[in-house]
Every structure is written in C-alpha cells, then in structure tokens.
Chain A
Amino acid sequence: MSRIFVTGMGSISAIGNSVTENHKALLKGKCGIGPLEMFPTRYASLLPFGEIKLTNTFLQEKLQAHEPELTRTTLLALHAFEEAIADAQLSPQLLKSFDTALIGATTVGGMCLTDELYRDANKTENGSAYLSSYDCASVNMYLQKRYGINGIINTINTACSSSANAILYGARLIKNGWAERAIVGGVDSLAKFTINGFNSLHILSPDICTPFDEQRKGLNLGEAAAFLVLEKEEAVAGKRCYAELTGYCNTNDAFHASSLSEEGDGPYLSMKGALDMAGILPEAVSFINAHGTGTENNDLSESRAMMRLFGNVPAFASTKSNTGHTLGAAGAIEAVYSILNLAHQEVYASLNFKQPIEATGLQPVQSYTKMPLEHVMSNSFGFGGNCASLIFSALNEIKSKK
C-alpha cells in the first residue's frame, strides 16, 4: 500500500492565526490561555480559556463568508482549510476532482450557538437561520458546497480523538484506493455546551493548566482548527513534503464513559499499535506530543501507559498548555505541531510544569531544545475511551521498514 506524505498544513488557535504564527509562538513558549474577552458565558471571569481573539465579523469579512447560516465553528474551519489547500497548492480543479477526499472532525459543530439552539428546539414557528447548522456535519457540508468537492466526504466525532481519527481515515482512503489525496483535520469553537459539560464533571481548572504536574487541577478549554493535506507517494514528485505519516492506531479503553483506566490500557494499545504499524521499536520514538490535558485522571493514566510501553519514556510535552484543550481540533493541531517538530528538528517547552507526578516521576521537556528527531508520536485520548495515536517521520531519515 502507498506511503502517505503531508504536503500542506493550515491552523488557527489561541497562539496564532496561521502555521507560521503558531510556530513562532511555540518557539517563544507563548501561552494563549487566559480570561475570555469575547465569548459570553458566566464563566468568562472565573475560568481561563484558549480563545482565538478574532470576532466572527472579522472572520466573515476576511474569508468573504457571509452566508447567514455560518457558525463560528465553520468559519474557523474555513480559515485553516484555506491555508492548507494553498500550502499544498491544490488547484480548484483538483479540489473538485472525484478522487479528492475531505475528512473533518468536530465535537461541537453548530452547537456553539447554544442559545439559538435552545430557542429553535422550543419554538413553533420562525426558526433561526441556523436550523441546518447545528450538527457536526454542517462544517464539511459548507466546505463541500463552497469548493465543489466531489470525492468522499466524512465527519468524525470521537470526542477528543476526533481529528486524529479523521487523519487516519483519510490516510486509509488513499491506501485503499478510494482517494488520491485527502484534506483531513478538525475544528472546535468555544461553546456553552462544552464549557458547562466539562464543568459539570469538575474537570475544568480555575488556573492555567499544568499538564503532568503533581498539583494539576484540570483542563482549560480552547478553540482551534487545523487541516493537513495528505498525498500518496506516487503523487508528490516535485512537491514540498513536510513529513510522512508512518503509523496510526485507534483503540478503546473500555473502562468508563468519561475517564481512563488506571493503567491506561487504551492509550497503551493505541501507542503500541501505531509503533507496530510504523515498524519501529519504542526506543526509535524521538518525541511524544502527549494528550496531556492537565486532568488528574488523564495525565496519570497516560503516564502509566507511556512507562509500560517505553520503559525509558522519550522526551514528551503537552502543547495544551499553550492552546488549551481544543477537543475536536486537538488531534489535528497537535499533528501540525508534531510535524513542525520534525521539520525544524526541535521540541518546545511544556509550559507551567513545576513538579512531577509523585507516582511516576516523569518530567516533560521544559525548555526549547534543538534535537535530532526521526519519529514523533502524537496522542489523543477521549471520552468514551476513544484513543488514537499517530506517528510522523522525518523525510530524510526514513529507514526501510520491516
């Protein structure tokens, strides 16, 4: 089956409105988490969030996207999508080709419009302009219409691992002959639905999150969008490639609807499965972009799983301390960051870390470091036990696989 290469990327998050801006921010160790300035919620002054400081009006104007049914989620997706397709130099004709797939992911969809949804769900007449925008599919349905995409289109929602699963689904479509190229990624915008949902489970931190720290108090929600363009080996001659997607795996922890097992079985299995597929041993992994949400449960279970699998755990960090937990976008934006690691042969500090978890003693990378990187693993573990691991490999370091 074909090898899969990343030929384009686009991203927008609390630390930057493009891949370049995100990269600069990571280099500086910028934290995009803080008080809300635009989003109306009771928790605006009580909890920190990774908010993108662009209004919907600004986005609509910049993107020339004035259709009344567009939600913030769709606007953010459009922003990252445009960047990615331009970066990969995909022509309008190629976008319309029957062999170009679009696989997206979101957990919120149009439910960022909580108040409108409440009204529409309870009204008897005169629905809002958003009636067909509430579901997760609405984002990709808009992209399809705007760009005339004719290949396979799909939306995946597996909670926090959604866009990692979108990436691996796109890769498999290409490998199995259902597409020649796939634009894959995910998005989520801040929503009262998720803010209140996570708050009801008591896992939002009142302070900026401290992934893998003994004193961690929970996660911060963030918003983001990211897309990658995947193309097969036979199609990339002459194109600039960032990295190769060499391994991926999806498993389930099967322990509880909203927390991971103590020993991190699901994470262990997804990491191991990705290694097996990439045909590399644990010690070949140069760096891990961890799921690292900052919750008591995740960081401990994830640590235990890493220790079980690697013995000697490689350098790792969580970029959620820069962007917050971006839910449906997390897998994709962290894939972008993993590819930046490889492209520049560097790793970024995992912010706000002071003290290792007593039970594990593990310490993430705490300052910017230039280092040789061959294989970078990116992990995403979600509600419902949905776990996904991706491995990206540097281009000039690929050894022949077993």
Chain B
Amino acid sequence: MLYIHQASCISPQQTFAAVEIDQLREAVNNKLQVIEPSYDGIPSGILRRMGKAIRIGVGTALPLIKENNTSIDGIIIGTANGGMEDCIKFLNQIIDYNEGLLTPTNFVQSTTNAVAAQIGLLSANKSYNTTHVHRGLAFENALLDAGMLLKENAVANYLVGGVDEISAYNYNIEFLDGWYKKEPIAAADLYISHTIASIAGEGAAMFFVNNDNTNATAKVTGLQFLHTEDEQLVAEQLNLFLEKYLPAGEKIDLLLSGENGDSRLIKYYNACENVLNKQVPVARFKHMTGEYPTSSAAALWLACFILKGQWMPQHMLKYTLVPSNFNRVLIHNSYKGQQHSFMMVEKAVV
C-alpha cells in the first residue's frame, strides 16, 4: 500500500527529536499531555496564533518538510476535533460578549482543516490538501487516502498524519460522557483497573510516504476498518483481513493493541487476541499515549520505531510471550466500541 520513509511524533512520551521511550512518563490528573518542543522552525508571528493541536501538528510535520520539501505532492491529515481549545475559546467569547464584537483568531484557528492548511502555508505547498475528521477512523481514512493517491500517482510523495489535543473543555465533555475515569489512576496501572473508561491523551504523528522501497523504514501492507458494536463481527473482519493481507506460511510477530483500560471495551481486544489463538505476543500503547481519536497514528509511529530498531520497551508487553523478531506488526484499535481498525505494518525489505 505504501512505504514509510520518515516518521515523526510529538506525544506524552519522549518521542520527538531524541527518542527515549523506555522510561514511562506518567499521567497527571488522568491526562497524558504532550511534551512540546521549542518550535524553532515556526516563525513567531505565526506561532503566536496557533493552538496546541496546530502547534503539535505543524511541529511534527516540520522535520519531514525540511527533509523533503520540494517533493511533497500532498498533505493529508486526520483529526477528529481540530483546534478544540480555540473552538471553545471562540464559543466562550460568543456567550461572554453576547455575540458582540469578537476576535477572529480563535475561529480561524479552530477549524479542523487548520492543521493541514498551516502545513501547506508554511511549506508553500499548493498541491492536494485535505482533512479527514471521522472520529476514531480519521487517521485511517487519511492513510487510505494516501494509499489511493499513491496508486493514482506512482512516483509521488505524500505527508500523512493524525493529530488531536486535549483541551480543558473537550476533556470535560468526554468526562461527562463517561469516557475518562472518575477515579485517579496512574498510566502504569491503566490495564489492571477493571473500571469503565480510560485516561485522556493527545498527540501528533506524521509520515513521509511513497511507493519506493529503497531505504524505507517500514511498509503498510494492509488496512481495514469497520463500524459495529458486535465483537463477533470485529473478529470475523480480522479473519478476513488476515486472509487478505497475511501471506500463507507467514506469521505476525507482534499484535500492537489499542486496549485502553476501559472494562466495556476489553471484549473487542479479547476477540482479536482469540483470532490469533494467543500465539502472537501482544503489546499495548495507550498507557503511553492516552486515549484519543487519532491515537492509531501514534501506534503506527511506534510500529515503525519497533521495526526499525528491532526493539521495544518492556512496559509495552502484555504477556510473558516475547517476540522472537520484529518483521510484521498488526495494529488493532477499537475506538469507543464503535469504530475498529486493523493495520499491517512490515519491515521494508529491499
């Protein structure tokens, strides 16, 4: 489907610039908030207007643009909420000033396409530019879009990524809706909690992709997603996915699971582990990223990191079964028990 050459990630863990993910950075007040870099590449006149989602989206893209600017043929972003903080700030203005004289920056920066637009602006890129916003499948649709673009344009290169932020306000809405735990919890204890809901997360991950396998870090060989609340259907779809994308006689080295400590959702993850007959080592990532709609982008970054370095931190492993090598990773994510996705990511063999 596509080859990943560079990947960049700003997350609650040390994943940007000097990567160090062996030490788990903890949640504070049930929120895993990103470590923001210094954004040297963003002019201060532009940076001053950016809310967090745009800062981390653009900040993650910048290194990839710097390396490849003249050859990016499209920018495809997945984000469920865009600049939520700016959105609510503008709403607060509407209420506080009773629809009177309002400042426009919050409005302009809150639109979900602002991340892709700013990346396009900063790189003076006039080519394909789009934003997918379908909640827990926003990033998957962005990746599918990039895959189709590469089929349509054999020698093109694309920047594809996913980003979402926690703002005080959207945290509140998700909390009221029962998606974040009421009781205080450490990220390290997420999976042993046995209560409903998860912890809030945020992050941005970007990828430079094309059809060329020369010196590629990894390749995405399979992608599938569906809407259902039935875990049997999810398991059936995984079987179909494996039939389609796992060559006969080949094996999966690691299942990278989006399990998130929500007791209501464990059935989806159990169903998929059962399809693999518990033969495949399982790793989890949401104690590192927290739960948010486009966390699968961070999962893809982690998969690339693991495939490249042939190593992963101990704290990610679910069982005692340890991978013997890292050639093929299956990512499974189930968002709010309604949207499910599978991605097959493999080491790019030249």
Contact = CB atoms under 8 A, between A and B. Distances in A.
Q: Which 6 A-B pairs have the closest CB atoms?
A: A384-B117, A127-B176, A197-B107, A121-B169, A137-B135, A252-B129
Contacts, number: 194
Contacts of A386: 113, 116-117, 129-131
B111 to A, nearest CB: 6
A149 B227 CA distance: 8
Interface in B107-131: 107-109, 111-114, 116-118, 120-121, 123-131
Interface string A160-181: 0000010001001100101000
B176 A257 contact: no
A158 B133 CA distance: 9
Interface stretch (A11-19, A112-120, A218-226, A232-240): A112-120
B129 A385 contact: yes
13 contacts: A114-B91, A114-B94, A122-B169, A127-B177, A137-B133, A150-B228, A157-B82, A158-B116, A159-B111, A196-B93, A200-B104, A257-B108, A265-B126
A132 B113 contact: no
Interface string A174-211: 00101000000000000011011101110000000000
Interface in A30-81: 41-43
Interface string A104-144: 00010001001101101111111100011011110011001
Given A193-B91, A196-B90, A385-B121, A250 B134 contact: no
Nearest to A109: B133
B90 A158 contact: no
Interface of A: 41-43, 107, 111, 114-115, 117-118, 120-127, 131-132, 134-137, 140-141, 144, 149-150, 152-159, 165, 169, 172-173, 176, 178, 192-193, 195-197, 199-201, 250-258, 265-266, 269, 382-386
A256 B94 CA distance: 24
Contacts of A154: 132, 134, 137, 141
A125 B151 CA distance: 49
B132 A178 contact: no
Contact of B129 (A42, A196, A251): A251
B80 interface: yes
B111 A383 contact: yes
Contact of A192 (B75, B82, B94, B100): B94
Contacts of B93: 196
Contacts of A114: 91, 94-95
B183 interface: no
A123 B111 contact: no
Given A137-B80, A251-B126, A252-B125, A257 B141 contact: no
B99 A153 contact: no
Contacts of B124: 254
Nearest to A203: B104
A58 to B, nearest CB: 26
B322 interface: no
A254 B113 contact: no
A169 B145 contact: yes
Contacts of B125: 252, 254
Given A118-B95, A137-B80, A265-B126, A123 B148 contact: no
Given A127-B177, A135-B80, A386-B117, A122 B172 contact: yes
A111 B133 CA distance: 14
Contact of A107 (B94, B111, B128): B111
B170 interface: yes
A75 to B, nearest CB: 20
Contacts of A199: 102
A294 B130 CA distance: 24
A32 to B, nearest CB: 23
Nearest to B336: A132
A150 B227 CA distance: 7
B229 to A, nearest CB: 9
B118 A257 contact: yes
Contacts of B225: 152
B113 A158 contact: yes
B126 to A, nearest CB: 5
B145 A252 contact: no
Contacts of A196: 90, 93-94, 99, 102, 107
Contacts of A140: 134
Nearest to A198: B107
A132 B172 CA distance: 12
A254 B74 CA distance: 12
Interface in B130-182: 130-135, 137-138, 141, 144-145, 148, 151-152, 169-170, 172-174, 176-177
Q: Which of A115, A154, A201, A385 has the most CB of B within 10 A?
A: A154
Q: Which of B87, B120, B173 has the most CB of A within 10 A?
A: B173
Given A114-B91, A176-B148, A178-B148, A155 B117 contact: no
Contacts of B152: 172, 176
Given A41-B99, A118-B92, A178-B148, A384 B111 contact: yes
B98 interface: yes
B226 interface: yes
Contacts of B145: 169
B314 to A, nearest CB: 36
Contacts of B130: 156, 158, 165, 169, 250, 386
B117 A252 contact: yes
Contact of B91 (A42, A121, A126, A257): A121
Contacts of A158: 113, 116, 129-131
B310 interface: no
B103 interface: yes
Given A127-B177, A153-B137, A250 B92 contact: no
A58 B82 CA distance: 32
Contact of A197 (B98, B104, B138, B141): B104
